[in-house]
Amino acid sequence: MRTQFIHQFSYTPYAETGGRVVSIQSPATVANMVCGFDVLGFAVTDPYDEMHIRFTDTPGVTIVNLDAYDLPTQPEQNVAGAALLAMLDEVAEPIGLEVSIFKHIKPGSGVGSSAASAAGAVVAANRLFNDRFSKSDLVRFAMNGEKVASGVKHADNIAPCIYGGVTLIRSIFPLDIVELSAPPLYVTLVHPQIEVRTADARGILKQQVLLKDAIRQWGNIAGLVAGLLQGDYALIGRSLEDVLIEPVRSILIPGFADIKQQSREAGALGGGISGSGPSIFMLSKDEATAKDVEAAMHGIYEKLGLDHHTYVTTINHQGVKFIN
């Protein structure tokens, strides 16, 4: 059956302390954008995590989980905690931070759950530090959280979460993030209720590729970037092709081929696996088409008898949002 996520968050932390609390909404993100493995990503308006952070008298990082996911509370093993520890290393003062996290983005869903926690934590903490650090610094800190989640520092979820919109990661070392403009786009997401761990999805990838496949992939990446900058929907659609990663990872996602085919038939420009999966995203020019795509996705998973969440949303050009 299809389920729609309803935001429910009424917890007001630390009201009795009188201390300053920074509260934020940290958005889900779609990494790779089909052909741009580890280099392209965008933020979406819905879903998002909600987080609150404050100073404490005890140096170090304290994690408070306000949801039912039972994620680690040891800061070194928690993506938000690892990101904050990296930030505190550069603050070079004995400071304590407590972060409370209510996750609406299910871990292992493929829409940047770990990135939302890591990025949201450092953006909120930076406000407590009177915005001492640049956005590039914040990405660098948050990448430590991604390393906890997947074993690799990557920024294709982190960067759009912090910068908003669509971002290109030209380089990780040194970090070089390029903000890309984009025409109006609607995003349809479906999350079949299975889990694909990022580390596992990376582990099955080929370590060598044919030159002809690499050339085709480079052309698609360049075409997609050009299509976004020029507002050329047809070019965007033609470029949403992956000949390297998707053929391997798609075997982990039930109904993937049917989702892709029927979404195209419903009018989508194209799409594919969101991050490492199992979520699938499709881009459309208008909301009506995006909802037709949602109906097609729903029909496929109804036939398979697989529970799923769907979202019809838009590109989030703000990134992490302050709510107090």
Residues with active-site annotation: 146, 198
**Which pair of structure tokens corresponds to residue 86?**
């990296």
Rounded CA separation 108/118 (Å): 15
**Contact of 114 with 197, CB cutoff 8 Å:** no
Among residues 64, 60, 56, 59, the alpha carbon closest in space to that of 19 is found at 56
Structure tokens at 73: 């509370």
- Sign, CA dihedral 142-148-154-160, equals negative
Q: Which of 97, 178, 107 is nearest to 139 (CA)?
A: 178
Q: Answer whether 317's CB lies under 8 Å from 292's CB.
A: no
Place of tokens 């081929």: 257
In a 13 Å sphere around the CA of 102, the CA atoms on its Cβ side amount to: 15
C-alpha–C-alpha distance, residues 322 and 123, integer Å: 9
Phi, psi (deg, nearest 5) at residue 198: -55, -40
CA dihedral (154, 79, 256, 241) in degrees, to 10, reads: -20
User: 14, 56 in Cβ contact below 8 A?
Assistant: no
> How far apart are the C-alpha atoms of 323 and 22, rounded to whole Å?
8
Q: Are 310 and 11 in contact (CB under 8 A)?
A: no
Phi-psi region of 267 (alpha: psi -120 to 50; beta: other; left: phi over 0): left
Q: Which residues of 82-94 are buried (b: 16+ CB within 10 A; e: fewer)?
A: bbbbbbbeeeeee
